[in-house]
Amino acid sequence: MGNLSIKMERRIEMNFSVLKSDLDNLFKRLKEPTDIVPEWTDPGISPAALKEVEANLGVVLPEVLKLASIQFSGIYHEAPYIIGDAFKAIQSQIFKSSKYELTEYDFSDDLEIQTVYSPAEWESEDLVKMKALNVEYLRDVGKYKHIGVDCNLQWLVSPKFMMIGTTYSESLYIDLRELPNNAGYGAIYNFVSLDPFGIMYKLADDYGQFLLNIKHSLEKKIQIDAEDGDDT
pLDDT in tens, 46-59: 999 999 999 999 99
pTM for the model? 0.88
CA distance 54 to 65: 12
Q: How many domains does the chain have?
A: 1
Rounded Cα gap, residues 63 and 51, in angstroms: 12
Residues 6+ apart with CB under 8 A from 11: none
- pLDDT over 50 (residue 12): yes
Q: What is the CATH number of the domain that holds 101?
A: 3.40.1580.10
Average pLDDT over residues 21-31: 89
Radius of gyration from C-alpha coordinates of the chain:
18
The pLDDT-based confidence of 146 (bands split at 50, 70, 90) is confident
C-alpha–C-alpha distance, residues 49 and 46, integer Å: 5
Q: Convert the pLDDT of each residue in 58-108 to its tens digit.
A: 999 999 999 999 999 999 999 999 999 999 999 999 888 887 788 888 888
Query: Is the pLDDT assigned to residue 32 strictly greater than 70?
Result: no
Range of the domain at 163: 2-231
pLDDT of residue 221: 92
